[in-house]
Structure 1
């Protein structure tokens, strides 16, 4: 029989690694299943120049500080290296190349089916595939007839392939602004947005903005929704957009065969359109459990499934705080989830042990009563047979001797047992 784990974590990115750390600290049997070839989640697939919008000081997972000068803003490659060293440092049990296809109930346990690594059984599941599993790709009018290049920010790597091209970047968040400003150095770029861009100073009163978010309590409020997340800016991006590098316009109305049509009706040829329109959690593998709503979102509250007992989440946007989907926030969320998960395992194991004990006691009671009834029945039958034999002998024996013999046989059969009674009194019957 295959091992039954206390918990299996789906994903070995920042959310999965933080969860693995806390499971290890709790002394639970666990495993991380990672679809990629190495731990790190989505980080290796982001564009080359990406930099964190939090300093190294506020970009650490639990138990291991981000290396280097704490007030700098690490780049993508540094984040990838940090996550891989984190997994190695704590020797977290990770199965790579394990893409989860579906999860189903198997009695008291979950059965996890992967594409290439077989099946696994576990008491609990933590979905830690995070927020960046599936690019959010809009479908705008005329997009199917456009002959230029259309891609998502997840596919963008560096500016050189777009040298001297006409590019439109769609979106108003951190990724859209970072990519737009970078591309504007080699191409003619427009940043197309549905809403005005909101900026938040990267530093205030000598401290990084994440210091103020964390220690003011604003982290735990819902003052920002997914559409209004500001661009964290040291002044670089606001200055670039004010100088028209890139320029900014309301999003175009539709695609044409060779470009776009702006809201004022003007047509413009465009070589490429890059959608920096965010991501959606990849949770399709939970569909058969009934864990998702009609839009594909998790039915959960603060990381605990409200639809499936034993199912948990780490890394969802605003799961508990504004930082829940970031390096800064996943550690605290993972700790809370593992505490709930551990209590769930304890209750489940106690319940199972109690039911098993009750069932064993019932089986033993039934066997004892059944055998006792069977023995008494056999003794009664033999006593009756002996009585009949004695009655036949009475014809040739005195009355008083016969009655004494009946009483003796009855008492012996009751107290000494069937075999003893027969052995003791058969000779007497023969002599009678």
Structure 2
């Protein structure tokens, strides 16, 4: 197969679908390609109990509201089904089960080699998101093979873990939710190298996302002092973890600095015998399939200014802090997608 389009969008998650919505309003030919079997599978495959922090009103993409109580919080499966119905509703062209193997520059166009053949395009939008390759940091020492360990992206339910206590390394939102679930039936510890900043999910019966939107915080540019401050730490949304810590159902440990057999040692010198470890340590970018100099830097991070690459015809969408504080939010994708749509109209 060898197809040519004006715009090829790599990734059919929320970011790819958002730009697909806008591209439908142009005369440009385009296609979304994605390695998943179904649209929304990235969400379906996450842990069973996952519920979004953003209400349905703030979890929708442009042009189509989520059904149900707009103040209620959707499950991960509900969001997955919404994304699938979104693509069908707007007849967005998507090629699924299509893995990108290499992106190259060819004279005045781009070549994208996939598991199902080659595509060529005048422009390429990289909408693969930030959750690409699980990040497991190197810790000094050697952990016993009898200690069961997985990354948070592999965790689905408590029953996947053998009996015993659990050390969750990383205190972001995913790690905190997993800790809360596991603490109902077993001893759980959470290890972090920084203070856990916790903010309520609602203030005066209104979602935190309503406050961020009303006071314009989600619209603050990425290069502002406020954005720089907010990037330093990821706040945990919801007070459940705080209550568990205060009630001593969960114990906070400092940064994990070494292992020896089944024993973990923390920055303050304390030690703990562990049976299970969940690495809630985030993700790394994986752009190993990009074979164009100047698209990523030496740390393999994308080079761009608010989504626009210095390589003419390459764009990024769906990354946190892409242009504003709210770029990482589901409803914040609309602004970045519309901005890219207006740019594509001008340069076409």
Could you tell me the TM-score, scaled by structure 1's length? 0.75
- Which residue of the partner structure matches residue 253 of structure 1? 257
C-alpha spacing 1:76/1:224, structure 2 compared with 1 (3 Å): farther
Q: How does 1:297-316 map to 2 (within 5 A)?
A: 297-306=301-310, 308-316=311-319
1:113 aligns with 2:143: no
- Which residue of the partner structure matches residue 318 of structure 1? 321
Give the superposition deviation at 1:156: 0.5
Q: How many residues align?
A: 342
The answer (yes or no) to whether the contact 1:101–1:285 under 8 Å persists in 2 is yes
Partner Cα separation in structure 2 for residue 321 and residue 263 of structure 1: 35
Give the superposition deviation at 1:134: 1.6
Task: Choose between structure 1 and 2: higher helix proportion.
Answer: 1
Partner Cα separation in structure 1 for residue 118 and residue 143 of structure 2: 40
* Higher mean C-alpha displacement, 145-154 vs 191-200: 145-154
Task: Choose between structure 1 and 2: higher strand proportion.
Answer: 2
Partner Cα separation in structure 1 for residue 23 and residue 193 of structure 2: 42
Q: Please state whether the residue corresponding to 2:320 is helix, strand or coil.
A: coil
Larger Rg, first or second structure (1 or 2): 1
Q: Please state whether the residue corresponding to 1:113 is helix, strand or coil.
A: strand
Q: How does 1:157-196 map to 2 (within 5 A)?
A: 157-162=156-161, 164-196=163-195
- Which residue of the partner structure matches residue 91 of structure 1? 91
Q: Please state whether the residue corresponding to 1:219 is helix, strand or coil.
A: helix
1:290 to 285, 291, 294: 294
Q: Please state whether the residue corresponding to 1:121 is helix, strand or coil.
A: strand
- Which residue of the partner structure matches residue 79 of structure 1? 79
Q: How does 1:390-409 map to 2 (within 5 A)?
A: none
Partner Cα separation in structure 2 for residue 204 and residue 193 of structure 1: 26
Give the superposition deviation at 1:264: 4.5
Unaligned runs of 5+ in 2: 221-226
- Which residue of the partner structure matches residue 235 of structure 2? 230
The answer (yes or no) to whether the contact 1:171–1:275 under 8 Å persists in 2 is yes
C-alpha spacing 1:285/1:207, structure 2 compared with 1 (3 Å): same
- Which residue of the partner structure matches residue 223 of structure 2? none
The answer (yes or no) to whether the contact 1:55–1:74 under 8 Å persists in 2 is yes
C-alpha spacing 1:123/1:334, structure 2 compared with 1 (3 Å): same
- Which residue of the partner structure matches residue 363 of structure 1? none
The answer (yes or no) to whether the contact 1:250–1:263 under 8 Å persists in 2 is yes
Partner Cα separation in structure 2 for residue 69 and residue 24 of structure 1: 29
Partner Cα separation in structure 2 for residue 176 and residue 261 of structure 1: 19
Partner Cα separation in structure 2 for residue 203 and residue 287 of structure 1: 45
* Higher mean C-alpha displacement, 241-250 vs 11-20: 241-250
Partner Cα separation in structure 1 for residue 116 and residue 345 of structure 2: 26
Give the superposition deviation at 1:41: 5.5
Give the superposition deviation at 1:82: 0.8
Give the superposition deviation at 1:205: 3.0
- After superposition, the CA RMSD in angstroms is 1.8
Could you tell me the TM-score, scaled by structure 2's length? 0.93
The answer (yes or no) to whether the contact 1:190–1:247 under 8 Å persists in 2 is yes
The answer (yes or no) to whether the contact 2:48–2:157 under 8 Å persists in 1 is yes
Partner Cα separation in structure 2 for residue 340 and residue 24 of structure 1: 15
Q: Please state whether the residue corresponding to 2:23 is helix, strand or coil.
A: helix
* Higher mean C-alpha displacement, 38-47 vs 130-139: 38-47
Give the superposition deviation at 1:323: 2.5
Higher relative contact order (CA 8 A, sep 6+): 2
- Which residue of the partner structure matches residue 12 of structure 1? 12
Partner Cα separation in structure 2 for residue 142 and residue 244 of structure 1: 29
The answer (yes or no) to whether the contact 1:162–1:183 under 8 Å persists in 2 is no
Partner Cα separation in structure 2 for residue 275 and residue 166 of structure 1: 14
The answer (yes or no) to whether the contact 1:102–1:288 under 8 Å persists in 2 is no
1:66 aligns with 2:66: yes
Give the superposition deviation at 1:223: 5.0
1:75-122 superposed Cα distances (whole Å, 9 cap, x missing partner) = 1111111111111111211111111111111121111111x2110111
Give the superposition deviation at 1:269: 2.0
1:23-42 superposed Cα distances (whole Å, 9 cap, x missing partner) = 11223210001011111252
